Each structure stands twice: as C-alpha cells, then as structure tokens.
Amino acid sequence: MLFACHFCLYGSVMVPLSRALLLQRATMPVTSQLFRGFPLAKLWGSSLFPCQRQLPCCPTSHRPTSSQPHPIWPTAMPVRGYRRSPDLHSYNLTPPQVNSILKANEYSFKVPEFDGKNVSSVMGFDSNQLPANAPIEDRRSAATCLQTRGMLLGVFDGHAGCACAQALSERLFYYVAMSLMPHETLCELEAAVEAGRPLSPILQWHKHPNDYFTREAQTMYFNSLRTYWQELIDLSSPGESLGPREALLSAFKRLDSDLSLEAQVGDANSFLHYWVLRVAFSGATACVAHIDGSDLYVANTGDGRAVLGVQEEDGSFSAHTLSNDHNAQNENEVARIQGEHPPSEKKTVVRQDRLLGLLMPFRAFGDVKFKWSIDLQRGVLESGPDQLHDNEHTKFIPPNYHTPPYLTAEPEITHHRLRPQDRFLVLGTDGLWETLHRQEVVRIVGEYLTGVHQRQPLTVGGYHVTLGQMQGLLAERKARASLAFQDQNAATHLIRHAVGNNEFGAVDHETLSKMLSLPEELARMYRDDITIIITQFNPHVVGHQRQGGES
C-alpha cells in the first residue's frame, strides 16, 4: 500500500499576490498557460514526492468515540476515510454551498458543568480545518488527561506530506500524559501490562469523525510508548513526577527520537516499514497547549502560533502572543542555528530565509533529511521497501550538508498564569497567521464570543471610493453583527474572515466563493491549509483559582 502526498512542499510557499490578481487568476481556466511567468523555482519541493493518486495519503482509519474515555490505545473500530471537499465545477457558489464547505470539519466541545468534584477553567473549545493541499497536511488533536484533569490541545502542520503530522496527532498527547504521571502510577501501569490486566484509560479524546487513528500501527506505537514509560520509571523515585514544563519538553524530544528509531529499525511488515519511513522523511511543526487550573503552558516547535485574547477594561480585545515563530524572521533562531555549526557554514546554514536554503521552519518533527548523517540516510533507504527506490526524495541530499543535525524538535515552552481578563486562546497553523494579523484575529474572535462589535473608524486604505460604495460599506458594517451569528463555531467564523475578507476588511461572498472553488491544482498557490482551535476560559473560575493560590 502506498500513500499519496499530492503537491508536497517543504515549508509554506506563498506567492505575494494582490487580492485583485488572486481573484482574476481564480477564474482563469486550468491550463498550462497559468504557469507561464510563475516562479516555479519556489516550488522545488513538489518534485521530491511525486503525486501518487491511487490511494489516500494516510492509511485505513477508524472513527473514535469522543464522548467516552479511550483505553490507553484505541482499539479497532469501523473503517472511515478522510473526507475531501466536493469537486466544484462552478465559481458561483451559493451561500449554503459556501457554508457547507466551511462547516465540513468543524467541531465543538463544551466542558460539563460543575459536578461537585471537578471544576474547569476551560468552558470548551471550537476547532475547524480548511484544506488547501489535497489531501490536507494539517492535523489537530484535543484530549483531557484523565490522571491530572488537565486539557491538551494541539495543531500540527505537515510538510512533504501528511504522514508526520498524522503520527503526531495520534501519539504526542500520550507521551505528554506519561511524562506527567507520578512514579507510582507508572509502576501500576507497567504491572497491569505484565499481568495482562485491563489498563486504565489515559486520555479522553475529543475528535471530529474525520480525525482518525492509524489502525495498523497501534501495536508498534504502544510498544514504543511502553519503552518510554519504563525508562521514566527507572529514572524516577517514589513520590516524584515531572512538572508540566519538563513533561512537555521530554515528550516532544522523546517522540521525535522514536520516530527516527522506528524508521531505522524498520518492520517485517512491508506496509509498516514503508509507513515509518514516510513519517520520518516527511515533517511537521507542533503547537500544543496544556491547561490545568489557572496554569497555561504552550509548547511550540516550528511556526504554529498561540495567541491569547485579553479583554481590556473598555471591552476591547488585545492580543498576547505566547509562542515564537521558529523561522528566519526570528533573529534568535537564526543565531541559535548558526552557533550550533562551524563558522565556515555561517553563510550556508541559513540561505534565502530557509534552513540550508530549503526548509522554512527551523524546528520540526521528522525531517530526518536534516538530522541523519548521509551514510545513515543511504543505508536506511537502501534497505527499505521497493516502493522507495523510484521516489525522487531518495536521491535528494540537502546542499552544504556537513555537520548534521541541522534541525531539532525541541519545543520552546511558555508558562502563563491565567487571569480573569484572559478570555480565550487561539492555536493556529501558519495558514491562519499568513492571512490575518494576530490583533485582527483576536478582535474577530472577541467580538464573535461577546456579540459586541467594536465600532472602529471606517477605513478604506488607499482606495478611491464613490459615495455609493461608501454607503454600501456602511450598510454592510451595520449588518455584520447579525451575520456573525450565522456561524455556531468560533473557528469557522474566523476561517470565514481569513478566506473571505475583501480589500475593505469585510467578509465578501464573491471573494469566499472564488477562494473556496479554486481547483486542487491552484488552491495551494494562494493559501495554505488552515487549522484552528479556539479555547474559551471561564473568568469566574480563573479568578477563584487565583485567589485560592492554585498552581
């Protein structure tokens, strides 16, 4: 079995186009004429993983049940494939068609009311995804840690295919949960496995039906996880446990190490052998939040982003960023990478704002092309399944590759003590932040959640508008408050703005229609996959927890 990775690119290749040119191209016929004069050199990554359309990107899947706690690892359930958007033959989508596309992957979870035992600072969350790649390379996860009652939420942005992001969405939270467990609980878990007793559930997953588990790899995943918790037992003493910061750091680094080791060891099953190599040679960034009481920890690897929405005394919302982008725009990241390699590589380790001139994120899971020695890469690929031998990526070695590793999955971790004015957290892959500024994101979400539209001065940028156009803008602004409630999901509402804003900053149906009806071959040229999780906090609970001195 093969996995298709259609139009796989290293990093986000976005071509700066004006909105007018974008919409003009959106209506052009799909022919080779479209690509004349287009800077195809920027799309070099597409040649590494030729499209294989005979099978979907990810393996046979099953549907988890979101309302019931899972056992430590999901058991086999009915097979379900990942849904794709319907083929669109017209650029004139009706509003119901637009809504159908935008709502196809939305999911909401509300934390149960206070039951006399537990109370949560989290009221619930909304999430959604909008594909640009076919199939989508982003993934998302949300789960409650049943041992700590903390909540884990994460967005994962894959590149060179969806395999690595898929593996993270299934596995990373288990590694975090194990890292948080005290020594005694880990010992009880190991004793149960040894005795063949049923295991207590670790996570309660909150998943959309389209989010799935790789059924064929569950035994291998469990064995790697068990080895990890056995080592945690050996390295700890009774009464000891890792704090959230150490747990997140250990989980990220260990999972990336396991992805690498599994690819090196391989598997007697040719399907699994090919799968672990696909996971390791593709890559993914991760932005994960752990919320327990008033303590919010964000662990970020790559260019996903976590932004806190803070409500000011006048009712407006301000953005407080809880993560740093790991790319060439971050001077500290550039200095870090240059400092980890000899002075002779200072001019080559970061070229054209990319790692070794190729990779946009400077931290990522997988991507062993930037971590293994050349000899190890060749040895693993030569012993791999026959399917790899005809793949272009097996022939590729990064230029100026002298002192690996050049890439790490180690996260940058931020701790924030929640306050009553901290109303929500937005986790988003870079497809969101490339489209909207963080302050605009927070304003849109804040107004949606409170139902209050901030009457800011009407601006039209540098455009010349007639009185008739101005009247139309004012009428549209008047109706915007009521339009906000056509979405029952905050993430859907935010995606509507990210994709459908016109040149005046208002959602425009024609713009939405054209952007959402772009053919698969063109959509990725104008935007990236967008994945969003918006978590809403309970200010009364947060205030009480702070007064009580909860940590």
Q: Which of 512, 490, 503 is nearest to 444 (CA)?
A: 490
Give the phi and the psi of residue 415 in degrees, each rounded to 5. -110, 135
For residues 62 and 214, what is the distance between their CA atoms, to the nearest angstrom? 8
Say how many CA atoms lie within 13 Å of 551 toward its Cβ.
2
What burial letters (b/e) apply to 390-427, b meaning 16+ CB within 10 Å?
ebebbebebeebeebebbbbebbbbebebebbbbbbbb
For residues 416 and 308, what is the distance between their CA atoms, to the nearest angstrom? 10
Give the phi and the psi of residue 363 in degrees, each rounded to 5. -140, 140
Burial class (CB in 10 A: 0-12, 13-18, 19+), 245: middle
pLDDT confidence of residue 465? 57
For residues 476 and 464, what is the distance between their CA atoms, to the nearest angstrom? 18
pLDDT confidence of residue 148? 80
CA angle 164, 168, 170 (to 5 degrees): 120
DSSP letter assigned to residue 48? T
Cis peptide before 135 (omega within 30 of 0): yes
Kindly report the number of other CB atoms within 10 A of residue 506's CB atom.
17
Task: For residue 133, give every residue at least 6 positions away whose Cβ sits within 8 Å of its Cβ, in sequence order, or none.
Answer: 6, 7, 8, 162, 523, 524, 528, 529
Say how many CA atoms lie within 13 Å of 274 toward its Cβ.
17
pLDDT confidence of residue 19? 39
pLDDT digits (tens), the chain, 551 positions:
333 333 233 333 333 344 344 444 333 333 232 222 322 222 233 323 323 323 345 444 443 434 344 445 554 333 333 333 444 444 688 999 999 999 999 999 999 865 445 678 999 999 999 999 988 999 999 999 988 889 999 999 999 999 999 999 999 999 999 999 999 999 999 999 999 999 889 999 999 998 888 899 999 999 999 999 999 999 999 989 899 999 999 999 999 999 999 999 998 898 999 999 999 999 999 999 999 999 999 999 999 999 999 999 999 999 999 999 999 999 999 999 999 999 999 999 999 999 999 999 999 999 999 999 999 998 998 887 776 666 555 567 899 999 999 999 999 999 999 999 999 999 999 999 999 999 999 999 999 999 855 444 444 444 455 666 656 555 555 554 444 447 899 999 999 999 998 877 788 888 899 999 988 888 888 899 999 999 999 998 888 877 766 44
Cis peptide before 95 (omega within 30 of 0): no
Task: For residue 511, give every residue at least 6 positions away whose Cβ sits within 8 Å of its Cβ, in sequence order, or none.
Answer: 19, 23, 499, 500, 501, 502
For residues 254 and 228, what is the distance between their CA atoms, to the nearest angstrom? 8
Single-letter residue type at 240: E
CA angle 208, 211, 212 (to 5 degrees): 130
CA angle 386, 390, 391 (to 5 degrees): 105
Number of H helices, E strands in the chain: 16, 17
pLDDT confidence of residue 520? 80
- What are residue 277's DSSP bridge partners? none
- H runs (alpha helix) in 153-289: 163-180, 183-195, 218-235, 244-265, 270-281
For residues 77 and 72, what is the distance between their CA atoms, to the nearest angstrom? 15
For residues 542 and 78, what is the distance between their CA atoms, to the nearest angstrom? 40
At 475 the three-state DSSP class reads helix
Burial class (CB in 10 A: 0-12, 13-18, 19+), 60: middle
Query: What phi-psi label fits residue 487: left (phi over 0), alpha (psi between -120 and 50 degrees) or beta?
Result: beta
H/E run at residue 433: helix 430-433
For residues 271 and 20, what is the distance between their CA atoms, to the nearest angstrom? 46
- Do 446 and 309 meet the contact criterion of CB atoms below 8 Å apart? yes
For residues 430 and 47, what is the distance between their CA atoms, to the nearest angstrom? 23
Two tokens, residue 199:
């295991």
For residues 77 and 215, what is the distance between their CA atoms, to the nearest angstrom? 9
Kindly report the number of other CB atoms within 10 A of residue 510's CB atom.
13
pLDDT confidence of residue 477? 53
Q: Which of 176, 181, 186, 201 is nearest to 291 (CA)?
A: 176
- Do 142 and 205 meet the contact criterion of CB atoms below 8 Å apart? yes
Q: At what angle do helices 95-103 and 509-516 cross, to 10 degrees?
A: 60
pLDDT confidence of residue 390? 60
Distance of CA 349 to the CA centre of its chain: 26
| Confidence (pTM) | 0.81
Two tokens, residue 484:
């906000």
Q: Which of 258, 551, 264, 268 is nearest to 415 (CA)?
A: 551
pLDDT confidence of residue 543? 83
Query: What phi-psi label fits residue 75: left (phi over 0), alpha (psi between -120 and 50 degrees) or beta?
Result: beta
Two tokens, residue 214:
């790789």
Rounded to 10 degrees, what is the CA torsion of 433, 436, 442, 447? -140
